[in-house]
Structure 1
């Protein structure tokens, strides 16, 4: 149990609220063949500065990565297959709605560049799903930097001890706790290495932190 009442719940995106069906490798392997992992690693490295607000057109950056590695697939094909094909886990989204209906603040806290955030805000409807959304590219810092959590609390308008953060990364859990937040290591994905309990189990875990739906 937490020492102070929780008034807000912050949900991570990837692994908690959304996923790429089949995973990144399976999504692009038909396009990239036996160099898939090498190209993905290079693309993620090129995207990393954009997670904290770095400038650049990621599709153009991705095109450069593909050219450098001799891939025949176009940047648009690869982008749509991976970065543009994320799907919402509807059970978690239902828990988000229940959190809001019960009178708690329900917020998003995620490491994302602006190109993917645009999809999440509009096509996936996260601007309507959450009270406040905290994207790393807007905050200028990414998890697990403790500043991310402090800036998120400020954007929400709450003290850290009033917030419960749900994430599938141990590093992010440790960082959230380091600034005084309660934190829950959870994922809807049974292979993610976090606790996997399904919707009912998540509701029970929330109740253990004083968030009753």
Structure 2
């Protein structure tokens, strides 16, 4: 069956987050930076599934490690997003070629809303699969099962692109086609990987 839809991850594929979050945290907590990082990532797991409010969680976690306003830390680690114009342009060319182009990302509510409103992601994608709305996160198989149901396609009609190998492997187990790719590899590599699945993209 031909690929009719492309499902794109956000962080690492469409956009970049701060490259050195541990370094940022070290400026506030010194040697406890990695400890705080693990606490923050663990605290985000529930909100990524739509369980609880992440900013409220930060209000509880951050003061036990650092004398910094949780909002300041949040802005530095989560609101600092650099969108890749090349990735968005590629998404646009895929849509022009007649494919459905969709967003598949793990995000808590505030960051997802920032991507929708401030960054204008809704304009670029046909269906947006934010984990906090779906109640399930990658790499859980239920994430991909829910995503293809939202898209309205059979799994093997959907080509998924993600920078995390565990997510790619899970998608394949559900029946999606999948490509493991990160922005650092360059878009020529991605275009070649898409072509290997029969998805041809016109030159920029």
> What is the TM-score with the length of structure 2 in the denominator?
0.93
Q: Structure 2 residue aligned with 1:62, among 35, 58, 61?
A: 58
What RMSD over aligned residues (CA atoms) do the two structures have, in Å?
1.3
Q: Are the aligned partners of 1:32 and 1:73 in contact in 2 as well (CA < 8 Å)?
A: no
Aligned to 2:75: 80
Aligned residues: 201
Paired residue secondary structure (2:166): helix
Q: Are the aligned partners of 1:28 and 1:81 in contact in 2 as well (CA < 8 Å)?
A: no
Q: Structure 1 residue aligned with 2:49, among 39, 48, 52?
A: 52
Deviation at 1:205, TM superposition (A): 1.3
The CA distance in 1 between the partners of 2:194 and 2:35, in whole Å, is 39
Aligned residue runs from structure 1 range 1-213, under 5 A:
4-56=1-53, 58-69=54-65, 71-189=66-184, 196=185, 198-213=186-201
* Structure with the larger helix share: 2
Change (3 A) 1:23 1:123: farther
> What is the TM-score with the length of structure 1 in the denominator?
0.90
| Ranges in structure 1 where 5+ consecutive residues have no aligned partner | 190-195
The CA distance in 2 between the partners of 1:81 and 1:32, in whole Å, is 14
- Superposed CA deviations along residues 6-60 of structure 1, whole A, max 9, x for unmatched, are 000000111111111323223433233332221121111111111111022x222
| Ranges in structure 2 where 5+ consecutive residues have no aligned partner | none
Deviation at 1:63, TM superposition (A): 2.1
The CA distance in 2 between the partners of 1:23 and 1:93, in whole Å, is 24
Q: Are the aligned partners of 1:60 and 1:75 in contact in 2 as well (CA < 8 Å)?
A: no
The CA distance in 2 between the partners of 1:170 and 1:205, in whole Å, is 15
- Superposed CA deviations along residues 86-145 of structure 1, whole A, max 9, x for unmatched, are 211222121111111111011010111111101111111111111111011111111111
Paired residue secondary structure (2:3): coil
Deviation at 1:156, TM superposition (A): 0.7
